[in-house]
């Protein structure tokens, strides 16, 4: 006679892989409020204030991640700020986050712009208004240069990245060649150089 012994079998419960602890949790409401504040205070261009909010204040993105998203946003059709809002929103909250980011980016600012357009149409010929716009233009250029300087810090200390920066500046800024043509020619070589550095 055989006696069948039944031994207790320990069940192993499998759980899904934990999320990356370093990835911040950002809700659609957070994205809406953040991009609303960005555009309502984005004097001198939204990219400068986007970097300040996303990298410095909230810490949602690293400097390198922000530069990569801005680069992709500039290559895509449409406005850079809107494209960046879509990319950031989709990364943290999917399509709901992308929609919330666009709503925040374009909602309240549209009302402000409409009011400013009305005031400029009515009082734009006054000398004081002309002088004010000239002064604000200088400040806006300074903000753009400050953002560019911070973004350049993330480039590798090698010849290749700075070579492509110089070639792009010469092609678009000095020679005034078409933007898409310059990017189409330089982008494959820049990608190949960056890929080679990581191997």
| 144 vs 89, residue with greater confidence | 89
Of the candidate ranges 25-29, 81-85, 150-154, 166-170, the one whose mean pLDDT is the lowest: 150-154
Nearest to 120 by CA among 136, 105, 104: 136
- In tens, the pLDDT along 121-171 reads 888 777 877 777 777 777 777 777 777 777 777 676 677 788 888 999 999
CA dist 81 and 85 (Å) reads 6
pLDDT for the residue numbered 192: 85
| 145 vs 174, residue with greater confidence | 174
pLDDT for the residue numbered 44: 62
Mean pLDDT of 17-26: 66
| 33 vs 128, residue with greater confidence | 33
Contact 26, 19 (CB under 8 A): no
Mean pLDDT score of the chain, rounded to an integer?
81
Nearest to 64 by CA among 129, 156, 133, 136: 156
Q: How confident is the model at residue 14 (pLDDT cuts 50, 70, 90)?
A: very low
Mean pLDDT of 81-98: 95
Residue 99 backbone dihedrals phi, psi, to 5 degrees = -65, -40
pLDDT for the residue numbered 167: 92
| 11 vs 99, residue with greater confidence | 99
- In tens, the pLDDT along 39-77 reads 888 776 788 889 999 999 999 999 989 999 998 998 888
Contact 151, 71 (CB under 8 A): no
| 45 vs 192, residue with greater confidence | 192
Contact 48, 29 (CB under 8 A): no
Residues in contact with 61: Cβ distance below 8 Å, sequence separation at least 6, in sequence order: 54, 55, 69, 88
pLDDT for the residue numbered 183: 85
**89-123: b (≥16 Cβ within 10 Å) or e:** bbbbbeeebbbbbbbbbbeebeeeeeeeeeeeeee
């Amino acid at each position: 006679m055989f006696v069948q012994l039944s031994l207790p079998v320990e069940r192993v419960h499998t759980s899904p892989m934990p999320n990356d602890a370093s990835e911040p949790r950002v809700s659609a409401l957070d994205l809406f409020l953040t991009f609303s504040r960005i555009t309502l205070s984005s004097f001198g261009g939204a990219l400068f204030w986007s970097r300040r909010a996303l990298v410095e204040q909230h810490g949602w993105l690293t400097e390198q991640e922000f530069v990569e998203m801005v680069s992709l946003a500039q290559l895509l059709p449409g406005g850079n700020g809107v494209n960046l809002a879509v990319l950031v929103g989709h990364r943290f909250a999917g399509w709901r986050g992308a929609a919330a980011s666009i709503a925040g980016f374009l909602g309240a600012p549209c009302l402000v712009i409409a009011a400013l357009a009305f005031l400029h149409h009515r009082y734009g010929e006054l000398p004081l208004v002309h002088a004010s716009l000239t002064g604000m233009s200088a400040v806006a250029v300074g903000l753009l240069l400050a953002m560019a300087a911070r973004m350049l810090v993330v480039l590798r200390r090698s010849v290749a990245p700075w070579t492509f920066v110089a070639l792009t500046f010469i092609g678009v800024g000095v020679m005034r060649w078409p933007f898409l043509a310059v990017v189409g020619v330089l982008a494959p070589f820049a990608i190949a150089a960056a890929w080679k550095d990581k191997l």
